[in-house]
Amino acid sequence: MPVALIALLRQAAPAQQTIFDVPSDGITPAGRLFVQNEGQFRPWAPGAFYLGTQYQALGIGYNTEIDMTLFNITAPKSGTLTLGVGAKSAIPLFRERFKARDLKLVVGELVPIALDRFQGVGGVGNWSYASVSGRLPWSNTRWQGGVSTGTRQIFGRTNVCFIGGWEQPVTKRLSLIGDWFSGRHSLGLLIPGFSFAFPRDYTLYCGFQIPNFPENGRTGFVVEIAKVLPIRGKSK
Predicted local distance difference test score (pLDDT) of residue 143 = 96
**Which of these ranges, 10-24, 135-149, 211-225, has the smallest mean pLDDT?**
10-24
Alpha-carbon dihedral sign for residues 207, 176, 106, 35 = negative
Q: Is residue 98 part of a domain?
A: yes
Q: Is residue 24 part of a domain?
A: no
Q: Is residue 90 part of a domain?
A: yes
Q: Is residue 73 part of a domain?
A: yes
Q: Over 90: is that where the pLDDT of 144 sits?
A: yes
Tell me which residue range forms the domain holding 187.
Answer: 32-230
Predicted local distance difference test score (pLDDT) of residue 137 = 86
Predicted local distance difference test score (pLDDT) of residue 233 = 53
Q: What is the CATH number of the domain that holds 141?
A: 2.40.160.40
Residue 14 preceded by cis peptide, ω within 30: no
Of the chain, the percentage scoring pLDDT greater than 90 comes to 78
Parallel/antiparallel/unpaired status of strands 127-136 and 104-114: antiparallel
In residues, how long is the chain?
A: 236
- The count of domains in the chain is 1
Q: Which residues, in sequence order, are CB contacts of 120 under 8 Å at separation 6+? A: none
Predicted local distance difference test score (pLDDT) of residue 120 = 86
Q: What is the pLDDT of residues 53-83, one digit of tens each?
A: 999 999 999 999 999 999 889 999 988 899 9
Predicted local distance difference test score (pLDDT) of residue 13 = 33
Q: Is residue 212 part of a domain?
A: yes
The overall average pLDDT reported for the chain is 89
Q: Over 90: is that where the pLDDT of 22 sits?
A: yes
Q: Is residue 26 part of a domain?
A: no
Three-state secondary-structure class, residue 39: strand
Q: Is residue 189 part of a domain?
A: yes
- Residue range 108-137: average pLDDT? 94
Predicted local distance difference test score (pLDDT) of residue 10 = 29
Q: What is the pLDDT of residues 152-178, one digit of tens each?
A: 888 888 999 999 999 999 999 999 999
- Residue range 197-203: average pLDDT? 92
Q: Residue 101 carries which DSSP code?
A: G
Name the H helices within the chain: 152-155
Q: Over 90: is that where the pLDDT of 102 sits?
A: yes
19-45 burial, b for 16+ CB within 10 Å, e for fewer? bbbbbbbbbbbbbbbbebebbbebeee
CB < 8 Å & 24+ apart, contacts of 230-236:
230/31, 230/32, 230/33, 231/31, 231/32, 231/33, 231/58, 234/30, 234/31, 234/32, 235/29, 235/30, 235/31, 235/32
CA distance 209 to 144: 19
Q: Is residue 63 part of a domain?
A: yes
Three-state secondary-structure class, residue 195: strand
Residue 23 preceded by cis peptide, ω within 30: no
Residue with the larger pLDDT of the pair 190 and 17: 190
Predicted local distance difference test score (pLDDT) of residue 176 = 98
Question: Read out DSSP for 132-165?
Answer: EEEEETTTTEEEEEEEEEE-HHHHSS-EEEEEEE
